[in-house]
Structure 1
Amino acid sequence: MRAVPTGGLHEPRTRGTPQYEVKWDGWRCVAFCGKDIHLQSRQGSDLTRFYPDVVAHLDAALFPDTVLDGELVVWDPAAGRTSFAALQRRAVAGRDLSAEVRARPASLVVFDLLQLDGVELLDRPLLERRMLLEELCDGLAGITVCPATRDPDEARRWFDDLAATGCEGLVIKDLTSRYAPGGRGWWKWRRRTTTEAVVGGVVGAADRPTGLLLGRFTPSGRLHYVGQSTPLTARAGAELGALLTPAGPDHPWPQPLPAGWTGRFDRREPQPFVAVTPDTVVEIAVDEAAENGRWRHPVRYVRPRLELPASRLPPWSPAGLDADRIS
């Protein structure tokens, strides 16, 4: 089941009482438990061998023919928050994951129960599924039930206070709703702010772009890739097309853009693009899912900042991205 974006806490119109859950910065995972344990990503990829510690916790719980929906997370004690980069390293560490597992154990944060003891629960209301889930997982090591509340004031406090720990926002669900595999019936309210970046390349044509590839300059003056925009409207594409100039052969980014640069686990193919001269600054709306100095999720174009030279942007650093507006 998928969540669609919403603009605020009270915007979704649910038929019954809404439930507010913490949206963690991790990988969505469905766990199939029985004689064997199988972990599957939202895209259908097999994650089982990457998370032997989570498999061991599920195996120790002895769940009989049970299916759980949740989020894989890794806690970084030094940073005091979850680490998406540590999750990704599991997928590229090769066969020997022992060092990664020891250094950064993974956990499964569960938020739904789809099957219990061979009985399918998809058509049961969320309220019933949640009660069964809490009873099933009470006191289990390495398996955490996602915090949830029906109090909007408490939910807003979570939204504001838990950002530093890796909370991306909230997921809002209807307690009367059934579970529709692959369907959309939840809402996600992500924390967003605006900041600026330099246009270093475009998807489409330079005079009529359909998407933007964005960068920030390092202290030494090199343009570092930081993220990609959502698709542009025709109006925005025309507006930017009048401002951009195709770049020469000295552009610093490889062609095509490597898949690994996007920071997205589900992107398998390199991204062809048209390089442009990196002198146009744009204002963008971003969420707080950033890792290693890149925004993982596509950002939303807001407007050009013609009055702002690229040299005035905060310099890029691997420690993170400055998400404050530039006045």
Structure 2
Amino acid sequence: MDLPVMPPVKPMLAKAVHEVPRAPGLTYEPKWDGFRCIAFRDGDEVELGSRNDRPLTRYFPELVELLRDALPSRCVVDGEIVLVTGSGLDFETLQNRLHPAASRVNKLAEETPASFVAFDLLALDDRDLTETPFTERRRLLESVLDDGFARVVLTPLTSDPDVAEDWFTRFEGAGFDGVMAKPGDLPYEQDKRAMWKVKHERTADCVVAGFRWHKDGAGVGSLLLGLYDDDGVLHHVGVASSFTAARRKELVDELAPLRENAVEGHPWRAWAEAQIEAAGQRIPGAQSRWAPQKDLSWEPLRAELVAEVRYEHVQGGRLRHGGRLVRFRPDREPASCTYGQLEEVAPAELTALFGEGARS
């Protein structure tokens, strides 16, 4: 492979803001919920790179064939790998595509084929376009991408902030993260937060039923969160993390009393003892597909502490992208922390925004 922009490429990133920015010269796109992917094509060679430099090519053979037809013969395209269903984007099933066995990869490629959403063009033929303004990169992308294929989509774009606001609210139920905003004259700045993202945020009260140590071994890395279902079963729904170094150490002392006799009578006792998965219930400790070597062992806590947690949205019964601790709630009873408090957003059909081809 010999392209003017060669792998690995670190995608351009975005800074979080709380509302859709409004300024002259801004453009807006929906924020997709999938795997960020830089696609490289040089003739018959197609490589798919992830945000963390992990190759995605072997996991999505169906996209390699598709992009060989849909992309120009020599190019580098920034986009997102997503899994589209009739009710929205399915990130949980997309995660299952990262399987080590080739036979399983090929089987899933047929059963749950992924789609590719293109939103930026970094190189074309012998041209490095990273210093070219975004509006010109977008114009070129529109002219060369063959989006006549059912699972190759050119992301919608608008310069109208009111349309962006509409996307932000109307398509949340379809699994979108929110809205992206970028200046029209923006060059492509690798690994820099040069854009803006507006994401949905809510809070929920969750049971703190365990924690994981931080990789430095000196503090709490994340809190393991649970919610009760209608039958009174406590399910693992995600984690709260992103603590400062000082807060990590404080949490060790704050949680210490809850570590005493924590396994006895713990709703996740079987997993605390064996770190195995029981059918039908969400538990902590499953291996990370992105980092199989990562230690996901955990320490149980007596399920007596309630935490208010900020989250973005729920999918498959879990808090997507993890949560952030707002505060502990000594005034709340753990039994009151149920799925019923989570805000449900009615699914919006992807076809309303992307056409009938998005379903295929």
In the superposition, the TM-score normalised over structure 2's length comes to 0.77
- 1:44-82 Cα shifts (integer Å, max 9, x gaps): 1111122122111211235222000000011122xx111
Partner of 2:93: 86
Partner of 2:171: 162
Q: Contact conserved, 2:147 with 2:154, CA < 8 A, in 1?
A: no
Partner of 1:318: none
Shift of 1:242: 4.3
Distance 2:284 2:331 in 1: 33
Distance 2:287 2:89 in 1: 16
279 and 62 in structure 1: CA distance in 2 versus 1, 3 angstrom threshold: closer
Tell me, yes or no, if structure 1 residue 302 matches structure 2 residue 315. no
Distance 1:94 1:235 in 2: 40
Partner of 2:348: none
Q: Contact conserved, 2:285 with 2:298, CA < 8 A, in 1?
A: no
Aligned residue type for 1:323: L
Shift of 1:260: 8.1
Tell me, yes or no, if structure 1 residue 232 matches structure 2 residue 243. yes
Find 1:270's aligned residue among 291, 295, 300. Answer: 295
1:148 partner SS: coil
Distance 1:247 1:59 in 2: 58
Aligned residue type for 2:334: A
Shift of 1:255: 7.4
Q: Contact conserved, 1:247 with 1:275, CA < 8 A, in 2?
A: no
Q: Which moved more, 1:181-190 or 1:124-133?
A: 181-190
Partner of 1:123: 131
Aligned residue type for 1:275: P
Q: Contact conserved, 1:72 with 1:109, CA < 8 A, in 2?
A: yes
Alignment of 1:73-152 (within 5 A): 73-77=82-86, 80-92=87-99, 94-96=101-103, 97-141=105-149, 142-152=151-161
1:60 partner SS: helix
Shift of 1:228: 1.4
Q: Contact conserved, 1:198 with 1:279, CA < 8 A, in 2?
A: yes
1:90 partner SS: coil
Aligned residue type for 1:119: R
Q: Contact conserved, 2:29 with 2:155, CA < 8 A, in 1?
A: yes
Partner of 2:187: 178
237 and 190 in structure 1: CA distance in 2 versus 1, 3 angstrom threshold: farther
Q: Contact conserved, 2:75 with 2:124, CA < 8 A, in 1?
A: yes
- 1:260-282 Cα shifts (integer Å, max 9, x gaps): 85796434302344322111111
Distance 2:211 2:183 in 1: 39
Distance 1:4 1:255 in 2: 41
Distance 1:295 1:262 in 2: 16
2:101 partner SS: coil
93 and 273 in structure 1: CA distance in 2 versus 1, 3 angstrom threshold: closer
322 and 130 in structure 1: CA distance in 2 versus 1, 3 angstrom threshold: farther
In structure 2, list runs of 5 or more residues that go unmatched. Answer: 1-11, 277-282, 345-360
Q: Contact conserved, 1:213 with 1:228, CA < 8 A, in 2?
A: yes
Distance 2:248 2:315 in 1: 28
- 1:119-165 Cα shifts (integer Å, max 9, x gaps): 11000011110111111125431321111211111100000000111
Q: Contact conserved, 1:255 with 1:273, CA < 8 A, in 2?
A: no
In the superposition, the TM-score normalised over structure 1's length comes to 0.84
150 and 231 in structure 1: CA distance in 2 versus 1, 3 angstrom threshold: same
Identity %: 30
Find 1:9's aligned residue among 4, 9, 20. Answer: 20
Give the number of aligned pairs.
313
Superposition CA RMSD, Å: 3.0
Return structure 1 stretches of 4+ with deviation > 6 angstroms: 255-260
Partner of 2:9: none
Shift of 1:283: 1.0
Partner of 1:199: 208
